[in-house]
Amino acid sequence: MKKSDGEASGWPLPREDYWSTPFAECLLKQLDLGPGLMVLDVAAGGGIPAFYIAEKVGPTGQVLAIDLHPAQAARCRAMQGSHMPWLRFEQADLRALPEDLPAFDRITGNIAFMFFRPDRFGALKQLVGFLKPGGQIVLTFPSLGTFDSIWRRVDEEMAARGCVVERQRLAEYIAERPSAADARRFLSDIGLSRIEVKEWPLEIASGPGREFLNHPLLRGGFLDDAYECFDDPRLAEEVMQAVAGDLLRMKPLVALRCAMSGWKAAPGGAA
């Protein structure tokens, strides 16, 4: 992730990451950064875009990047080494942050809002409580409509096989996905201002069969949820094998990158 010859940034977004980086680009379009800011990055994962943000706020700023999984934080610390000591990676649950945590100028989370379950509004409201007056929160997530062509094909195959319970579970899973409208309503109900919620499409390439079923972006968090609709693993495999062999009817495989941004009112009412 560090600078190569001819690059202006020491910690650019990695070009080889075809999921986190495109979402981070949307986040950074919305995020107002500058030297000296204190930033909290939640569900930081592999450090995209925490490293980039830390470079932008510089040594007069601070970035605390948290993730639920201690191994993720450890990997990021190993990658960081002695660079940018104002950036810290720690293990923490964004839904249960310590009350004595300081307030931040910016709160971010790349592909984070999907992890705010089961009470997304409650988790978001709690997080905004750590935002300074006049501060900004920006989160990205794959919004409702992501990979709709896949879900239609899975539902069709379930219907053809008489999978009543499995179809109901699939419908509930899809309905649970947050939409851009949900994000806008949540930010408004919390009382934030200068709200912006935007979506950008992202097409994912895949081959049929096992390449589709084991696709590193489609499997984790998406196809796995389809498998979990079944009690019978053999039936699940039959259905998903049939779906995977019908890739042409599902193309293009399109994710919707959503970036939600809002500002907390400063004293006197200005954001």
- pTM of the model as a whole: 0.91
Alpha-carbon distance 43 to 204, whole Å?
A: 23
Decide if 136 contacts 32 (C-beta within 8 A). yes
Alpha-carbon distance 61 to 266, whole Å?
A: 20
CATH code for the domain of 138: 3.40.50.150
Alpha-carbon distance 80 to 82, whole Å?
A: 6
Decide if 94 contacts 119 (C-beta within 8 A). no
pLDDT reported for residue 271: 58
Q: Is 13 among the domain residues?
A: no
Write down the mean pLDDT value for the chain.
Answer: 93
Tell me the residue range of the domain where 38 lies: 20-143+178-203+255-263
Q: Are residues 125 and 51 in the same domain?
A: yes
147 has a pLDDT exceeding 90: yes
Q: Are strands 87-91 and 62-67 parallel, antiparallel or unpaired?
A: parallel
203 has a pLDDT exceeding 60: yes
CA distances from 10 to 66, 154, 253, 259 (A): 22, 44, 33, 25
pLDDT tier, 269 (very low <50, low <70, confident <90, very high otherwise): low
pLDDT reported for residue 73: 95
Tens digit of each residue's pLDDT (9 = 90 or more) over 205-233: 999 999 999 998 998 779 999 999 999 99
Question: Which of 148, 202, 138, 211 lies closest to 177, judged by CA?
Answer: 148
Domain count for the chain: 2
Alpha-carbon distance 193 to 82, whole Å?
A: 38
pLDDT reported for residue 267: 74
pLDDT reported for residue 54: 97
3 has a pLDDT exceeding 50: no
6 has a pLDDT exceeding 70: no
pLDDT reported for residue 7: 38
Tens digit of each residue's pLDDT (9 = 90 or more) over 74-125: 999 999 999 999 999 999 999 889 888 999 999 999 999 988 888 999 999 9
Q: Are residues 83 and 152 in the same domain?
A: no
Alpha-carbon distance 188 to 195, whole Å?
A: 7
Pseudo-torsion of CA 18, 123, 260, 178, nearest 10°? Answer: 70
Q: Are residues 152 and 25 in the same domain?
A: no
163 has a pLDDT exceeding 90: yes
Q: Are residues 55 and 156 in the same domain?
A: no
Q: Are residues 192 and 233 in the same domain?
A: no
